[in-house]
Structure 1
Amino acid sequence: MGEGGKGELMRWPFFRDRRFSKILKAGLLSILHFSVLLSSLILFSASSVHEYHVSVTQMQYNASQQLFEISIRIFTDDLEKAISQDNGMRRFLINDKDQNNPFVERYIRRNFSLSGTQKKAEIKYLGKEQEADATWIYLEIPFKGSTENWKLQNSILMETFEDQVNMFNLKFASDTKTFLFKKGKTTQIL
């Protein structure tokens, strides 16, 4: 543009026309608004959506303490959505310093259980821990005897996601078993 800057543009007749100036400003503002909106959508969708819904549970028997030690790994955004749905769509943000343990515990107790022919095992909720995009939930279940005729129910996140799969690894004495829980198959015999 040289040294004249804006003055040089004003020499062109269409830049001196006020109608053209208004149209140009409106067009530039529309492009700017569209760019901001598009950028926001791309950032939001890239950060909070993943293509699959899966949890992984490890359940190992500690013979010396006569209990099962359980750790459940769940995508944090999925857990937040499920707990929100479970609590009238109230918004939850899960992290190590939040006050949401009672809500997480209630949700887990409703969707995860071990039961025998005579009784349901008592679950002790120990807490949760944040790891990148996942939350680890820790439980203990006092247990004596054999796992024969015991059933495990794991319907975590299945009310929230149609494609939810819960992978489950059980180690009891020298025996290791793996189970898959999904919609229509939320209970398995150990």
Structure 2
Amino acid sequence: MSLVTNSRKGAKTRTFFAPLRICVILFLCLSAFGFSKHDFHTSITRMDYNAKEKSFEVSIRVFTDDLESVLSKENGGQKFSVLNNDKNDPYVEKYIRKHFAIVTTAKQKKPYSYIGKEQEADATWIYVEIPCSEAITGFSLQNSIMLDVFDDQVNLVNFNYQGQKKSYIFKNEDKVLPLGL
């Protein structure tokens, strides 16, 4: 305990554990805002058309804790811990196939190869390759990743096709959008 003299009034004011006060104030402020890991739910996808291979190379970035939550929900509450060298790839692949696709004019999902996943800090990158030798005129893109779990989920797709670039934003009301360049 330290004593501080107030020069205006000549009175002594007691200051108890100033660092503890700061910690208590900080704790109360954080409690008011919650302890969530992140305040928003989003995924970012990059789709690049490889003309030589006639396929789209796709990289999908999601928050790892969100991916673990959605896998748990999709699999009867089973607990998931997504790591680089785990045995969860079949679950991740199944989920991505259900929620991400190029849809043809015949309303068919184009088949694709699941390449794998890679963890980076608090995010997980998921890689797929979608063969596509025909023109994409009239095709649509489905990206409903985590839209069924988080009301505020936003999925951004940066689409590069034959030198043209376009970005798409998917929300609950827009799970499938036309691919128009």
* Fold match by TM threshold 0.5: yes
Q: What's the CA shift string for 1:140-168, capped at 9, x where partnerless?
A: 00001222100111000011100000000
Aligned position for 1:31: none
Q: Which runs of 5+ in 1 are unaligned?
A: 1-37
Aligned position for 1:113: 101
1:1-40 matched pairs, under 5 angstroms: none
Task: Give the counterpart of 2:142 among 153, 165, 180.
Answer: 153
The CA deviation at 1:106 is: 0.3
Q: Which runs of 5+ in 2 are unaligned?
A: 1-26
Aligned position for 1:95: 83
Q: What's the CA shift string for 1:47-74, capped at 9, x where partnerless?
A: x521000000000000001100000000
The CA deviation at 1:174 is: 1.2
What's the Cα RMSD here?
A: 1.7
Task: Give the counterpart of 1:61 among 37, 49, 52.
Answer: 49
1:118-129 matched pairs, under 5 angstroms: 118=106, 119-129=108-118
Code of the aligned partner of 1:68: F
1:170 aligns with 2:163: no
Aligned position for 1:34: none
Code of the aligned partner of 1:117: T
Aligned position for 2:58: 70
Code of the aligned partner of 1:113: A
Q: What's the CA shift string for 1:63-97, capped at 9, x where partnerless?
A: 00110000000000000000100001111000101
The CA deviation at 1:120 is: 2.2
Task: Give the counterpart of 1:104 among 88, 92, 103.
Answer: 92
Q: Which moved more, 1:115-124 or 1:70-79?
A: 115-124
**TM-score (normalizing by structure 1):** 0.75
User: What secondary structure does 2:150 align onto?
Assistant: coil
Aligned position for 1:183: 172
The CA deviation at 1:109 is: 0.5
Aligned position for 2:72: 84
